[in-house]
Each structure stands twice: as structure tokens, then as C-alpha cells.
Amino acid sequence: MTKILAIETSCDETACAVVEDGCRILSNVVSSQINVHTLYGGVVPEVASRIHVENISAVVQEAVKRSGCTMDDIDAIAFTQGPGLIGSLHVGVQAAKTLAWEFDKPLVPINHMTGHIYANRFAIDHDLRFPLLALVISGGHTQLVWMKDDWSFEIIGTTVDDAIGEAYDKVSRVLGTGYPGGPIIDRMAKLGKPHYKLPTPKVDGKYDFSFSGLKTAVSQMIAREEKAGNEIIKEDVAYAFQETALNSMAGKTIQAVKDLHPVMVITAGGVAANSRLRVLLAEEMKQFPEIELSQPPIKFCTDNASMIGASGYVAYKHGLFGTLDVSADPSLPMPGEI
Ligand code: KG4
Ligand code: ZN
């Protein structure tokens, strides 16, 4: 049995977990800074790194304690090396290196996005199956990733401008409904009706995405309605934005499924928590009963350290160790990406 202690501090969650064999969570501690950043309407990088420094020791100690393990039982220390906010990443990297040095454990640097992908291991009772298509959707990424094998990542589609999570956050800001926008728009859209019409995003690449035009169209539509003296029905705006964005994203995903015939389709990242997307994809995937669809439990969609433990286990099995010289990389590419 392999036990990985995993640390995640790429954005505004200070998180540590102990995960056994990449699939059993012995402990999972997440200290969110959301209440602080909500005051500013978004993550303030300097504030985030300072809070990470204040919390990291207690979070690691709590994760070890709750796991019922001692540091002797831990086989390796996995940590998020990037991508993310440099100041935030530094804190987790430093904590991981200190633990590795003090307790003489191997270090496993992990790309945050591979963590989101392998979080699916907590949704299914078997290893991921390949070839696999992953829709990776977060505050910083919108990607279709083709995995022909374990730990093999080919980005076949990406956003040409904003990430989907970023678009959710911006639309919520325009509506004045708060941060983070994703869960707020998700809840509001449930009460909305098909009243406003927005243009479907257009982009050349077969599997590429675009959300910046849609975000601008929302702002322009609100300005037009206000000028005409019409009351803005925020729930209906949320509904129109969400349906347009998600249908475009699901459409590209299904196109890739048709073209490439994966045995598994998975979603990953904060936006994968979206309730409408979960239903939409499940509906669309009914036309491919032979293909397994996995959507991670909601608490494993947003940032956490268990996912770094799941991904860390696969990297550990592949012998992908780091040295004490390893440093944070805010724009770390996916493994294998040039
Ligand atoms: O993966 P994540 O926690 O952090 C990054 O790696 O970026 O994703 C955060 C993003 C935010 O943009 C947030 O608004 C979005 O995920 N999000 C959602 C939902 N929950 C979080 N977007 C749509 N619907 C949700 N329910
Ligand atoms: Zn993330």
C-alpha cells in the first residue's frame, strides 16, 4: 500500500491530504480563503500567499493527524508545482521540500491540471481506462485532453481567449452578483427562463473554445436593455449565458467523442461542479452507451489536495521524482506538452 501526503496551494485553498494507492482518501483538509477574497471581488495574489503562509503548518498537521498515520507511514510527498499563482505555489512547494528533507521522503512534483483529471479516481471503483477524453474546465483552463494511456496528455482543444470559469466569474461581476461567479450563476440559472438570446461562440479550431465574445455580448445586452428602460432579469441573463456557454462546450466535446472513440469521457476542474453541465453531458452521452462517463463528486471538482494525491500516486509509480532544487512554475505545461 502506497501512502502519499499531498499539498495544494496553487490559488486560494490551502489544502493537504493523505491518499492511499491513489484512490482511498485517509484525510482531506481544505482551508478556503474565499470569505477574504469575496470582499475584493476576486483572488488578491499577495493576500492569498500571506494566508497560505499562516495556514500551511496547521493544515498539514491536521491532515496527518486525521489520516491516522505518522510521517513514518508516508511513502512520498506530492505537491502542486504549477500552474497557478506564483506566491501561492511557493508556499506549498516550500512546505513539501521541508517535509521531504526533514523526513527523508521522495518528492513528487505535480501539475495541478493532472490533479483535476485524476480526481475522477474518487468517482469510480476502478482505474481510469484509456483511451480517454477529458474535458478540463477551471478558472484558468478550458481544454479537451486526449489520454491514449496512463500519464499521457495531448491537448487537442483549448480556449482561444478566456477560460470558461473566468467567463462565469466575469458575467457574475457584470450582474453585480458576487464572487466566485460559477456557483452563483449556476444557482441563479435554475430560476431563469429562456428570455434573452445570445450568439453562439464561433471559433475556427474543431475542438477549440471561445468565451470572450459571449461575455462581451452579455455586457452589451445588459447595456441595451438598460438604455431601453427595461428591467434586467438577472436569473434570465444567467440562464442565457449558461445555456449558450455549456451547449457550445458540450457540442465540441461530443464532436471529439464521435471522432476519436474514447472508452471513457471524464470532466475535471471547478466548472465540472456545474449542475447543468452534469445533466447536459449525461444526456448527450446516452447516445454512446458503450462509453463510460465520469464526473467527479462536486467537492473534488474544485481545488483540493486529494486530487494531487491521486495524480501523485500515478507519477510515483512512474518514478517521476523531483529534487530539493525544484521550484514553483506558474505556467507549468502539462507533462509531455512542448
Ligand atoms: O478548479 P478550480 O477550483 O480552480 C482553478 O484551478 O481555477 O476552478 C475555479 C473555477 C471558478 O472560476 C469558479 O467560478 C468555477 O470554477 N466554478 C463553477 C462552479 N463551481 C466553481 N463554475 C460553474 N458552475 C459551478 N457550479
Ligand atoms: Zn484547479
- Any ligand 1 atom below 6 A from CB of 181: yes
What backbone torsions phi and psi does residue 85 show, to the nearest 5 degrees?
Answer: -80, 130
Give pLDDT, residue 278.
Answer: 98
Ligand nearest to the CA of 179: 1
Cβ-based neighbours of 98, under 8 Å, separated by 6 or more: none
How remote is the CA of residue 140 from the centroid of ligand 2, in Å? 8
Distances (CA, A) of 157 to 38, 64, 104, 252: 31, 38, 40, 9
Cα of 69 vs centre of ligand 1, distance in Å, is 31
Ligand 1 contact via 182 beta carbon (within 6 Å) = yes
Q: Is the pLDDT of residue 275 over 90?
A: yes
Across 117-123, average pLDDT = 97
The answer, yes or no, to whether residue 175 has pLDDT greater than 80, is yes
Q: What is the mean pLDDT of the segment spanning 16-33?
A: 96
The answer to whether residues 140 and 147 touch, using CB atoms and an 8 Å cutoff, is no
Give the mean model confidence (pLDDT) for residues 17-36.
94
Distance from Cα 259 to the centre of ligand 2, integer Å: 28
- In the structure grid, which three cell numbers stand for residue 131, read together? 483511451
Report the SS3 class of residue 153. Answer: coil
C-alpha 112 to ligand 2 mean position (Å): 6
Encode pLDDT of 77-96 as tens digits. Answer: 999 999 999 999 999 999 99
Burial of residue 324 (CB within 10 Å: 0-12, 13-18, 19+) is exposed
pLDDT value at residue 52: 95
89 lines ligand 1 (CB under 6 A): no
Q: Confirm if 244 and 110 have CB atoms less than 8 A apart.
A: no
Neighbours of 39 (CB within 10 A): 9
Read off the pLDDT band of 40 (50, 70, 90): confident
Mean pLDDT, the chain, rounded, equals 96
142 in ligand 1 pocket by Cβ < 6 Å?
A: no
> Which residue's C-alpha comes closest to atom 19 of ligand 1?
182
Q: Distance between CA 263 and CA 286 in Å, rounded? A: 14
* 131-140 average pLDDT score: 97
Whether 214 has a pLDDT exceeding 90, the answer reads yes
pLDDT bucket at 43, cuts 50 / 70 / 90: confident
The fraction of the chain above a pLDDT of 90, given in percent, is: 94
User: What pLDDT does 41 receive?
Assistant: 81
For ligand 1, whether the C-beta of 271 sits within 6 Å is yes
pLDDT value, residue 336: 83
Indicate the top mutation candidate among 179, 187, 271 to test ligand 1's pocket, ranked by most ligand atoms within 8 A of CB.
Answer: 271
Supply 108's cell numbers. 513528487
pLDDT at position 90 is 98
pLDDT at residue 38 tops 90: no
Q: Is any atom of ligand 1 closer than 6 Å to the C-beta of 82?
A: no
What mean pLDDT do residues 115-132 have? 97
- Cβ of residue 84 lying under 6 Å from some atom of ligand 1: no
Residue-level pLDDT at 338: 60
Q: What pLDDT was estimated at residue 37?
A: 79
pLDDT higher at 35 or 158? 158
234-260 vs 275-284: helix crossing angle, rounded to 10: 40
Give the span between the Cα atoms of 23 and 15, in whole angstroms.
17
Average pLDDT over residues 191-214: 96
